[in-house]
Amino acid sequence: MRQIRRIELQYEREQLEAEINSLINNFDEEIKEMQKEKYRLESDLKNAEMKLILFFEELILLKSMENRDQELTKALAKCRQDKGQILREINEISKKLREKKNEIDGIKSREEELMTKFHELCAEGSDKYDEIRKFFEKIIKRRTKQKQFDKEPGHDEDEDEENAEEEEEFEEDEDDEEEENNVVSLPQEEYKIDEIEKLRDERMNLYDEKEKIL
């Protein structure tokens, strides 16, 4: 019985030792895994600290740029306001340009009507057609307006030079006065110069309107 009891106790001892060794091995393995996890956590912590330092540096940089950022924000708001104003002005100008273009188109249409009336009075086959058409299409310069400008106070030498140049241009046009007189002196019954001259005056008025618009 003692021998049997000894064998049983020996067996229980071996079982307990195997169980203890298994627990110890499992514990060691868990310790190793925990050690590895510790290293990973320490690495993550260092990375987080480095990011924190970087964020602090960026925060300091942003703080230093805050005033400038506010200035730029105000400038941007003003630029947007100016842009809106400019766009409104552009729309207004475009509208006026369309109106002026319509006016110029109307003037051109009236000029064509005058040209049609001119051809009714002076056919292209007329022997004096070229001279009369040149008379009709001639642009007469206004020297009276220039003289009035000369009398205005405060004009300088440069303006005097410009005035002299314009008067000189007028004087050069006076060389054609003889040719114009020749056209005016043509027989009224045959060439209807008076009516053509009225058409020319209307054409000059249209020309002045168009120049004013331009």
User: Is pTM, for the whole model, over 0.75?
Assistant: no
Q: Does 164 have pLDDT greater than 50? A: no
Tell me the mean pLDDT in the region 169-177: 50
The count of residues in the chain is 214
Contacts with 114 (C-beta within 8 Å, 6 or more apart), sequence order: 199, 202, 203, 206
pLDDT computed for residue 26 by the predictor: 93
**165 three-state secondary structure:** helix
Tell me the mean pLDDT in the region 142-159: 46
Please report, for the chain, the start and end positions of each structural domain, with discontinuous segments joined by +. Answer: 87-213
Tell me the mean pLDDT in the region 186-211: 78
Residue % of the chain over a pLDDT of 90: 38
Tell me the mean pLDDT in the region 51-58: 94
Kindly report, residue by residue over 197-207, the tens digit of the pLDDT. Answer: 788 888 888 88
Q: Does 64 have pLDDT greater than 70? A: yes
Q: Are 161 and 150 in contact (CB under 8 A)?
A: no
Tell me the mean pLDDT in the region 158-169: 48
Please, which pLDDT band fits residue 95 given cuts at 50, 70 and 90? very high
pLDDT computed for residue 147 by the predictor: 39
